[in-house]
Amino acid sequence: MLGRTLQEVSAALKQGQITPVELCQKCLSLIKKTKFLNAYITISEEVALKQAEESEKRYKKGHSLGALDGIPVAVKDNFSTSGIETTCASNMLKGYVPPYNATVVQRLLDQGAVLMGKTNLDEFAMGSGSTDGVFGPVKNPWSYSKQYREKRKQKPHGENEDSNWLITGGSSGGSAAAVSAFTCFAALGSDTGGSTRNPAAHCGIVGFKPSYGLVSRHGLIPLVNSMDVPGILTRCVDDAATVLGVLAGHDPKDSTTIQDPGKPFMLSSLTDVSKLCIGIPKEYLVPELSSEVRSFWSKAANLFESEGAKVIEVSLPHTSYSIVCYHVLCTSEVASNMARFDGLEYGHRCDIDVSTEAMYAATRREGFNDVVRGRILAGNFFLLKENYANYFIKAQKVRRLIANDFVNVFNSGVDVLLTPTTLSEAVPYLEFIKEDNRTRSAQDDIFTQAVNMAGLPARQPEQPGRQVVEHVVETVPGDVKNAQKQ
Amino acid sequence: MAAPMLRGRCLGRCWALACIDSGSRHGRGAATGFTSSGKRGQSFVAQQPLLTAQKSRKGEHKWAAVVGLEIHAQIASNSKLFSGSQVHFAAPPNSLVSFFDASLPGTLPVLNRRCVEAAVMTGLALNCHINKKSLFDRKHYFYADLPAGYQITQQRLPIAVNGSLAYSVCVGKKWRQVITKTVRIKQIQLEQDSGKSLHDELRSQTLIDLNRAGVGLLEVVLEPDMSCGEEAATAVRELQLILQALGTSQANMAEGQLRVDANISVHHPGEPLGVRTEVKNLNSARFLARAIDYEIQRQINELENGCEILNETRSFDYKLGFMPEPNLPPLLLYDTASLPAGADPQQVINIDRIREQLPELPSETREKLIQQYGILPEHSFALLNEVGLLEFFQNVIKETRAEPKKVTSWVLNIFLGFLKQRNLAVNESPVTPSVLAELLNLLDRKVISSAAAKQVFEELWRSKGKTPSQIVSERKLELMQDEEALERVCHAVMEGHPQVVMDMKRGNPRAINKLIGLVRKVTHNRADPTVIKEILEKQLSS
């Protein structure tokens, strides 16, 4: 039952093959069994069971709320959840219990979804491995798969099994692992530079990043406000569409959400791709790309072509500036957004009370890890009056050029871009931590993050090989507008 | 900007000086070619002793002072600029704080329509160009009563620019000459107010009240077109009256709804402008004028002693700058011509609609008073200067047959004098407009003398509830209507003062006044002096 898709289990609930409480209990017990994955920071067992009971009552009365009623879901621990601790995997917010729900959380609950818990991440979503949170790294469920074990056996030097697990990617690694390990049927992630698509790729599930402005950010603890988007992780594309249908739409609490009421998301079964024009950006063919990913990429392209789609090479000429541009904009917004964590109103506060300034300094030193502090420091440097024009303004201009690259390609008749999500398949933890967070983020966001700059939607679909990604560009009105927003 | 001016160690000083910085020189634009901009926004000041600043002690060089102002007016709105929290003065600490105001992570700003309308209306009243597109920025600084670590303001593209404010100063020997001056308005921007910090020195604690955090402010930047404290105070006063007339701010300085920062420099006319200093958080009109004049004099003294002017505030200005506020899209306004077809009126703001709703401005009210009642310009200023006085005046006029000039004189001299002596506001007066109107009617019908009227007025103040007529009859204050009796009194007085009569006969013009005074004393002020004079003259010549 747990291995089914959201749509399948929803049907099972409706038909009474299983009750919401039974389903919830099954998930809870699997969550406990897979605790070693470290996917969850908080397991909201009591809340989940209560919600499941409510759902069960509705089903008994025949008044179920829809496709999500009684469906176990998980939420990344940077979305505010009323009455449930929300930590961002940081000492700064340990023990912080928000008094309100993020809009996306509320919308899930309003549809009867059952919240299993809050999932692990890199501290404040800053990372690409889910290895840099205060609660420790997340382990990729595929590390324990038959395929992976057999593959490893072929290697000559027998490594220690326990230490050679794979990373999930990040920063929404907890959500990806939770869905991949069948502990829930959908999870919320966040995507600022690829944080939903990257772990989805590494964990073999669907990761969807909606257009900027399509889904409310209210209650999402921000990394980069102008790029953050709540992401959706599921085990199949139709499930992602179902969840998106619930989340999408204007939110009066988020002024950057689009006003258009929008249409419900119904995916037609796509049998005819002959009218599609698929672009392959040549700049994405970088030397660092692993041969495996490269071959999957061309395999996918060939598949489309053989079905009648037009596949052409396109150019996104400013791609190579994307990472450095992102670095300036991201750290600047981080410096600004993190200023509120001063230990006064909520969160961690140090014991030092000699002066307000000393209290701030010690609180922030104790509360943030090196990655967060490093980004704040860099961001404050870029925001200094004398540096602002040289860095921030220039980065904004480059961002516009990057966004225009996409606009130009789509204006030229391309419907969809097909690109890799990651350079290679998931690597072992011990391998991953040989490089620091900044280097890893720069490497791993290379294919994903330009899309955030442009505000475009992107999707990492489930694939057996896991490394092929298509970036779907929907016909959502306002995409281009949003892309030009900055 | 509402940045708390003094951080840490310089508490208790009202100005601050910082390092010399060419950027801190006043950029006075084209020499103000402004004359009166017409009817809008005139103000009045009853005295203009141009400062000591104008002359050096040795009288060698003249000094000229240059004063610019940044004024923060709290917007009169039910809720805050970006949150639904209510706005109230003196509510229990931290009782009006939303999740956004406390900067809980994940909360986002949602712009309050009322605040935007107030900014547009104020901009229109101050002859500004309203920007149809304006932007919000974050201004960063660390301070305990600024929970987010930044203030949302409009630094790059404010909502209104390039306006003007006309105010009037009175000059001449009797200050009868009204001169209209104009100060240019650089911009009006929407921004958040900060919270309040209360420092408990005894327990070395800082207590934070966030009730004020996030309240909408209009920052009005006045170009350095003023030259002394009195001019600055007068301009501020006029702005205050305009804001109150518009209802966009209560603009009560004592409650901090209107706060003023002044930039001040001195130079020799014809030479480049001097280094400026800042006098911040001025929250009373009288203190404003005095603080500016004091600072001007201090700068002159410094310079004459060969010292340099240092601008200290700069050193506290964290060099952290601005950043676009990513959570707020550009603020778009429309006029009737540009209004998108089928737009939801709740979702768009039409500048032309707001222009239609502009109420009468103080300058227009004064002009009307002058036209309608023939009163002096300075009296029109005085009537508007006191909260509720104009309404009081108009109500008296409605109910009395007395001449408007007479009413003006009574309201401005006697009534206002009584209020000031007792430190009362107009609405606290025990004398209502109809009571004063009745008193003035008695005077107009010559039932009582003006001296008696004043006596009645004093009595009204003491014994609430009595009508003027009651007091007149109780105290027997009616004018003597019996001319024969008055003739007898006059005769008796003349008999009793032969020396004064002799003086009068010799042609001393003052002597008759003395006799009149004596007669009035005998009649307990109940005789009309003009009648007494006639009788005396008649008796003398007979």
Identify from B104, B192, B344 which residue to disrupt to test chain A contact, counting A C-beta atoms within 10 A and taking the largest count: B104
> Whole-angstrom Cα distance, residue A410 to residue A451?
13
Residue A388 confidence (pLDDT):
92
Q: What is the pLDDT of residue A470?
A: 36
In chain B, which among 54-113 make CB contacts under 8 A with chain A? 99, 102-111
Question: Which is higher by pLDDT, B308 or A124?
Answer: A124
pLDDT given at position A476: 24
Radius of gyration, alpha carbons of chain A: 22
| Maximum separation of any 2 CA atoms in chain B, in Å | 100
Residue type, B8: G
Q: How far, in Å, CA of A109 to CA of A71, rounded?
A: 10
Cβ–Cβ contact A62 with B under 8 A: no
CB pair distance less than 8 Å for A383 and B320: yes
Residue B397 is predicted with a pLDDT of 94
Q: Which long-range contacts (CB under 8 A, 24 or more apart) does B84-90 make?
A: B85/B214, B87/B215, B88/B211, B89/B255, B89/B257, B90/B255
- Tell me the chain B residues in contact with residue A93 when contact means C-beta distances shorter than 8 Å: 105
In this structure, what is the dihedral angle of CA atoms A209, A210, A216, A219, given to the nearest 10 degrees? 0
Mean pLDDT of B262-270: 94
In this prediction, residue A454 carries a pLDDT of 87
Pairing of strands B160-171, B129-130: antiparallel
pLDDT in tens, chain A (486 residues): 889 999 999 999 999 999 999 999 999 999 999 999 999 999 999 999 999 999 999 999 999 999 999 999 999 999 999 999 999 999 999 999 999 999 999 999 999 999 999 999 999 999 999 999 999 999 999 999 887 888 777 665 555 556 689 999 989 999 999 999 999 999 999 999 999 999 999 999 999 999 999 999 999 999 999 999 999 999 998 899 999 999 999 999 999 999 876 666 667 666 788 888 999 999 999 999 999 889 988 988 998 899 999 999 999 999 999 999 999 999 999 999 999 999 888 999 999 888 888 889 999 999 999 999 999 999 999 999 889 999 999 999 999 999 999 999 999 999 889 988 889 889 999 999 898 888 888 888 888 888 888 888 887 765 433 323 333 322 222 233 233 222
pLDDT at B33: 31
Mean pLDDT on B213-220:
98
- Is the pLDDT confidence value at B124 over 90? yes
How many helices and strands, by DSSP H and E, does chain B display? 17, 15
pLDDT of residue B172: 66
Q: What is the pLDDT of residues B33-77, one digit of tens each?
A: 333 333 333 444 444 344 444 444 445 568 999 999 999 999 999
Cis preceding linkage at A171, omega within 30 = yes
Inform me whether the C-beta atom of residue B415 falls under 8 Å from chain A C-beta atoms.
Answer: no
Q: State yes or no: pLDDT of B161 exceeds 80.
A: yes
- pLDDT for res A468: 31
At B81-116, the pLDDT tens digits run 999 999 998 899 999 999 999 999 999 999 999 999
Strands B177-192 and A277-281: unpaired
| Cβ-Cβ contacts under 8 Å, B147 against chain A | 340, 342, 344-345
pLDDT at B303 over 70: yes
Does A253 sit within 8 Å of B147, measured CB to CB? no
pLDDT for residue A165? 93
| Paired strand residues for A416 | A278
pLDDT at B466: 86
B22 CA: distance to closest CA in chain A (Å)? 15
pLDDT at A157: 55
pLDDT for B6 beyond 90:
no
List the beta bridge partners of residue B277.
Answer: B264
Question: pLDDT-derived band of residue B131, with 50, 70 and 90 as boundaries?
Answer: very high
Taking Cα atoms as reference points, which of B372, B379, B418 lies closest to residue B398?
B372
SS3 A388: helix
Q: Do A18 and A27 contact (CB within 8 A), yes or no? A: no
Chain B residues within an 8 Å CB radius of A338? 149
pLDDT score of A145:
85
- Looking at per-residue confidence, does A354 or B171 come out higher? A354
- Catalytic residue numbers of A read 76, 171, 195
Give mean pLDDT, residues B280-288. Answer: 84
Pick the residue with more confidence: A471 or B197? B197
Predicted TM-score (pTM) of the model is 0.86
Interface test with B, best of A105, A332, A336, A354 (most B CBs within 10 A): A336
pLDDT at B515: 87
Q: What is the pLDDT of residue A71?
A: 98
d(CA A381, CA A170): 26
Q: How far apart are the first and last CA of chain A?
A: 45
Return the pLDDT at B507: 80
* pLDDT score of B539: 83
